[in-house]
Structure 1
Amino acid sequence: MNKHAYTYSVLQYRHDVWSGECMNVGVLVYCPDLGYLKLQTRTGGSRLSNAFPGINRKALLHDMRELERWFDRKCSERGSEWMWRSAHDVGLRLLGDDDSSFRWHLNGTGVTNDPASTQDQLFHRFVTQHDPEPGRVPRTDEQVFEVVRSKLKTSEILSRMEPHTVRSNYSEFTFEHSFRNGRWHCIQAISLDSADAEQMQRKAERWAGVLVGISEAPEPFTVYMVTGRPTKADLTKQYERMMELLRHAPTKPLVLDEEEADEIGRRIIG
Structure 2
Amino acid sequence: MKRSAYTYTVLQYRHDVWSGECLNVGVLFFCPASQNVEFKHRSGGSRLSNAYPGIDRSALLQDLREMSTWFERRAAQPSDMWMWKSALHLGQSLLGDDDSSFRWNLDGSGTTDDPGKTFAQLFDRFVMQYDATPGRIPRSDEQVFEAIKGKLKRAQLLNRMESYTVRTEFTEVTFDHSIKNGKWHCVQAISLDSADEEHMQRKAERWAGKLVGLLEVETVPQVYLVTGKPTESKLQRKYEKMTEWLRHNPAHPVVIDEDQSEALVQRLSILGHEN
Q: TM-score, normalised by structure 2?
A: 0.77
> Structure 1's 237 and 85: CA in aligned 2 closer, same or farther, altered over 3 A?
closer
Deviation at 1:41, TM superposition (A): 1.7
Q: Which residue number in structure 1 is paired with residue 53 of structure 2?
A: 54
Kept in 1, the 8 Å contact 2:157–2:269? The answer is no
Q: Which residue number in structure 2 is paired with residue 146 of structure 1?
A: 146
1:242 and 1:205 map into 2 onto residues whose CA distance is 9
| 1:190-228 per-position Cα deviation (integer Å, ceiling 9, x unaligned) | 122335545433432332233345543566333221011
> Structure 1's 71 and 175: CA in aligned 2 closer, same or farther, altered over 3 A?
farther
Secondary structure class of the residue paired with 2:122: helix
1:187 and 1:256 map into 2 onto residues whose CA distance is 10
Q: Which residue number in structure 2 is paired with residue 70 of structure 1?
A: 70
Deviation at 1:248, TM superposition (A): 1.9
Q: Which residue number in structure 2 is paired with residue 246 of structure 1?
A: 246
Fraction of identical pairs, as percent: 55
| 1:25-59 per-position Cα deviation (integer Å, ceiling 9, x unaligned) | 32111234444332212233234455x26363734
1:188 and 1:53 map into 2 onto residues whose CA distance is 30
2:250 and 2:165 map into 1 onto residues whose CA distance is 17
Secondary structure class of the residue paired with 2:109: strand
Q: Which residue number in structure 2 is paired with residue 88 of structure 1?
A: 88
2:54 and 2:73 map into 1 onto residues whose CA distance is 29
Matches within 5 A, 1:1-270: 3-14=3-14, 20-49=20-49, 52=51, 54=53, 56=55, 58-59=57-58, 60-77=60-77, 84-112=84-112, 114-213=114-213, 215-217=215-217, 220-233=220-233, 235-262=235-262, 263-264=264-265, 265-266=268-269, 268-269=271-272
Deviation at 1:246, TM superposition (A): 1.1
Deviation at 1:150, TM superposition (A): 1.3
Structure 1 unmatched ranges of 5 or more: none
Q: TM-score, normalised by structure 1?
A: 0.78
> Structure 1's 36 and 258: CA in aligned 2 closer, same or farther, altered over 3 A?
same
* Stretch of structure 1 that moved more, 122-131 or 16-25: 16-25
State how many pairs are aligned. Answer: 269
> Structure 1's 243 and 44: CA in aligned 2 closer, same or farther, altered over 3 A?
same
2:163 and 2:64 map into 1 onto residues whose CA distance is 44
2:260 and 2:123 map into 1 onto residues whose CA distance is 41
> Structure 1's 13 and 246: CA in aligned 2 closer, same or farther, altered over 3 A?
farther
Larger Rg: 2
Deviation at 1:106, TM superposition (A): 1.2
2:248 and 2:102 map into 1 onto residues whose CA distance is 37
2:147 and 2:6 map into 1 onto residues whose CA distance is 52
Deviation at 1:81, TM superposition (A): 7.9
2:99 and 2:217 map into 1 onto residues whose CA distance is 41
Report the AA paired with residue 146 of structure 1.
E
CA RMSD between the two structures? 3.4
| 1:45-78 per-position Cα deviation (integer Å, ceiling 9, x unaligned) | 234455x263637344444334323333443455
> Structure 1's 123 and 268: CA in aligned 2 closer, same or farther, altered over 3 A?
farther
> Structure 1's 180 and 91: CA in aligned 2 closer, same or farther, altered over 3 A?
farther
